[in-house]
């Protein structure tokens, strides 16, 4: 049988249209258009972050999508979520619908079911949507760290000011320490180290000489009369002078001890700041851990880690 | 540029595979990474003797795993903890695991717990991971019928275990089950030393010291004691 050209063209067009329709039908079938679905109703105070077509996840798997959003008479947002019947088994009466708003990325609608043995959720019952806002959580978590950082910065600034102040305690301590170490290194004898400076040693030697003289004079005194005791070159004025010099040396030693005490208390203050710094480093390390987890998760070509028996 | 047809096809296939690979890794739930990473941190901290850090990491692992609602997985997290304690020659309280097991029985988890507790007759070796199953078989056979080669067979299995933590867990179970032998202790010490697991190292050194003391090898015992003092 010989067909006319017009017939051949007609058959070709019909075959093409049929093929296209079959392809579309197959795609629709694969997309689950013909699959029976159950529509659940979830109410929310706000529709912020929600949109029609938004997927619903269960344990990380997409099991449904938002079909419709509408405002109820009470002013609540009623979210109609369609779920294919083969996934409806995950929706139970104690299932919690959550809108997760992560720190980075778009909002995500998830459902979590604690007890799979509980009764299935009735499509006539409106569940309540709970909002999990990572941004607010993050701000709440970061706020104490920022407060601590501010306190540490203030402490560091105060310390720096104290260190940099030419009239400050640290400068004084350094000057005193410099003097102390210089004087200690310049000691010629144990006696000089004990008394503090060469003048004192000289005075001490002078005192010794004086004492010798006193002894001589005492002998003379014993030989002479009492009036020599209270005379211009007598024993008593010399003893008074030696005692005064000794008292002056003791005052100097006291000042050195005060400086040592001050150095010790400054060191204790520094230790407190170090403790604050340590706690801050701990917080920073925890933040870094979180960041690494996030980076790990975002890394392409990585497979999902699984918890196995060791 | 003239490319041969085969080269063009190969390039297309590689490109497709790359695109598919990128697309496949897209949506991994965050809890899986956090839980798996914290569990690894827990194991390392516990074996190194950083107890407070280990506890913190373990609690975080539990919290993250609970997000999945998967009780078998949660049970496995607790079994990891008990296994590390066994590797450290410590006893453990399995109350938390038993509660999970009562709500959601898992035969594989139950078999591994029986092995960790040394309850070999109740252990179904078919459900154990291969290294433990092999050791379990030798132990059960040895209980049924005395075997003079049992020690050598156990030592060969221990040395042939590729994973260091698994080897230490098996060594721990053997020591706790009465196989307190120098070769096994030395194998465990070598593993702990190579990985820098100080807590494990000290635990096995203590056992070795006691072993030498019981054998009246006082000089060897003294040297191990000195080593413990220097490492603590």
For position A309, what pLDDT does the model report? 86
A235 lies in some domain = yes
- The answer to whether residues A177 and A280 belong to one domain is yes
- The answer to whether residues A175 and A216 belong to one domain is yes
Interface residues of A toward B, Cβ cutoff 8 Å, are 59-60, 112-114, 289, 292-294, 296-297, 299-310
For position A185, what pLDDT does the model report? 67
Query: How many CB atoms lie under 10 A from the CB of residue B117?
Result: 18
Contact B69 A305 (CB under 8 A): no
- The C-alpha atoms of residue B76 and residue B80 are separated, in whole angstroms, by 6
A22 lies in some domain = no
A108 lies in some domain = yes
Summary mean pLDDT of chain A: 78
For position B21, what pLDDT does the model report? 47
Angle at A185 between CA A181 and CA A186, to 5 degrees: 120
ipTM: 0.71
Evaluate the CA torsion angle B177, B181, B187, B192 in order and state its sign.
positive
Residues of A in contact with B79 (CB under 8 A): 309
> What SS3 class is residue A32?
coil
- The answer to whether residues A177 and A252 belong to one domain is yes
Contact B80 A112 (CB under 8 A): no
Range of the domain at A187: 165-298
Please list, residue by residue across B189-208, b when 16 or more beta carbons sit within 10 angstroms of its beta carbon and e when fewer do: bebbeebebbbbbbbbbebb
A154 lies in some domain = no
Which residues of chain A are under the pLDDT cut of 70? 1, 183-198, 200-201, 214-215, 218-244, 246-254, 256-257, 260-261, 263-278, 280-303
Going by pLDDT thresholds of 50, 70 and 90, the confidence category of residue B2 is very low
A85 lies in some domain = yes
Q: Taking residues B192-202, report their average pLDDT.
A: 95
Contact A60 B43 (CB under 8 A): no
- The answer to whether residues A169 and A221 belong to one domain is yes
Contact B80 A310 (CB under 8 A): yes
- The answer to whether residues A126 and A170 belong to one domain is no
Q: Which run of H or E residues covers position B27?
A: none
Q: Taking residues B53-77, report their average pLDDT.
A: 94
- The answer to whether residues A187 and A71 belong to one domain is no
- The C-alpha atoms of residue B187 and residue A275 are separated, in whole angstroms, by 41
Please list, residue by residue across A217-237, b when 16 or more beta carbons sit within 10 angstroms of its beta carbon and e when fewer do: beeebeeeeeebeeeeeebee
Residues of A in contact with B65 (CB under 8 A): 307
A248 lies in some domain = yes
Condensed to tens digits (0 to 9), the pLDDT of residues B7-41 reads: 666 665 565 545 444 444 456 788 888 899 899 99
A307 lies in some domain = no
**Number of separate domains in chain A:** 2
Of A87, A113, A132, the residue at which a domain comes to its end is A132
Q: Are B22 and B37 in contact (CB under 8 A)?
A: no
- The answer to whether residues A76 and A127 belong to one domain is yes
Q: From residue B83, how far is each of A98, A156, A310, B37, B76 by CA, in Å?
A: 35, 46, 7, 17, 10
- The C-alpha atoms of residue A129 and residue A111 are separated, in whole angstroms, by 9
A27 lies in some domain = no
Condensed to tens digits (0 to 9), the pLDDT of residues B95-135 reads: 999 999 999 999 999 999 999 999 988 888 899 999 999 99
């Amino acid at each position: 049988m010989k067909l006319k050209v017009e017939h051949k063209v007609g058959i070709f067009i019909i075959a093409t249209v049929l093929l296209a329709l079959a392809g579309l039908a197959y795609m629709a079938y694969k997309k689950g258009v013909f699959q029976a679905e159950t529509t659940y109703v979830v109410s929310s105070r706000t529709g912020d972050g929600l949109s029609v077509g938004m997927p619903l996840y269960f344990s990380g798997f997409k099991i449904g999508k938002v079909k419709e959003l509408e405002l109820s008479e009470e002013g609540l947002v009623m979210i109609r979520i369609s779920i294919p019947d083969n996934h409806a088994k995950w929706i139970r009466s104690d299932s919690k619908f959550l809108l997760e708003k992560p720190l980075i990325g778009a909002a995500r609608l998830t459902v979590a079911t604690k007890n799979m043995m509980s009764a299935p959720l009735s499509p006539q019952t409106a569940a309540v949507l709970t909002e999990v806002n990572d941004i607010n959580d993050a701000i709440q978590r970061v706020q104490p760290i920022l407060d601590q950082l501010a306190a540490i910065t203030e402490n560091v600034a105060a310390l720096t000011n104290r260190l940099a102040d030419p009239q400050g305690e640290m400068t004084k301590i350094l000057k005193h320490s410099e003097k102390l170490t210089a004087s200690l290194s310049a000691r010629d004898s144990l006696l000089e180290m004990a008394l503090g400076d060469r003048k004192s040693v000289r005075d001490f030697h002078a005192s010794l000489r004086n004492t010798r003289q006193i002894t001589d004079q005492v002998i003379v005194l014993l030989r002479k009369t009492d009036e020599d005791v209270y005379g211009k070159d007598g024993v008593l004025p010399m003893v008074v002078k030696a005692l005064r010099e000794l008292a002056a040396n003791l005052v100097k030693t006291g000042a050195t001890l005060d400086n040592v005490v001050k150095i010790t208390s400054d060191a204790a203050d520094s230790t407190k700041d170090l403790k604050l710094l340590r706690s801050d480093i701990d917080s920073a390390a925890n933040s870094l851990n979180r960041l690494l987890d996030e980076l790990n998760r975002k890394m392409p070509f990585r497979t999902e880690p699984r918890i196995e028996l060791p | 540029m003239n490319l041969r047809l085969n080269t063009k096809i190969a390039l297309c296939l590689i490109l497709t595979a790359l695109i598919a690979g990128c697309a496949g890794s897209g949506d991994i739930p965050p809890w899986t990474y956090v839980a798996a990473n914290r569990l690894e941190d827990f194991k390392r901290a516990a074996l190194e003797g950083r107890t407070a850090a280990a506890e913190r990491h373990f609690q975080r692992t539990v919290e993250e795993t609970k997000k999945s609602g998967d009780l078998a997985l949660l049970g496995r997290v607790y079994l990891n903890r008990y296994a590390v304690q066994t590797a450290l020659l410590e006893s453990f309280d399995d109350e938390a695991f038993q509660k999970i097991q009562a709500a959601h029985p898992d035969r594989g988890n139950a078999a591994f717990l029986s092995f960790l507790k040394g309850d070999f007759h109740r252990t179904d070796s078919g459900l154990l991971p291969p290294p433990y199953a092999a050791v379990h078989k030798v132990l059960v056979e040895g209980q049924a019928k005395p075997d003079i080669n049992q020690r050598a067979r156990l030592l060969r299995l221990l040395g042939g275990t590729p994973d260091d933590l698994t080897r230490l867990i098996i060594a721990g179970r053997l020591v706790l089950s009465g196989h307190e032998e120098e070769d096994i202790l030395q194998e465990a010490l070598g593993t702990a030393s190579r990985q820098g697991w100080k807590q494990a190292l000290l635990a096995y050194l203590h056992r070795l010291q006691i072993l030498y003391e019981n054998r009246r090898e006082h000089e060897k015992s003294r040297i191990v004691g000195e080593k413990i003092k220097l490492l603590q």
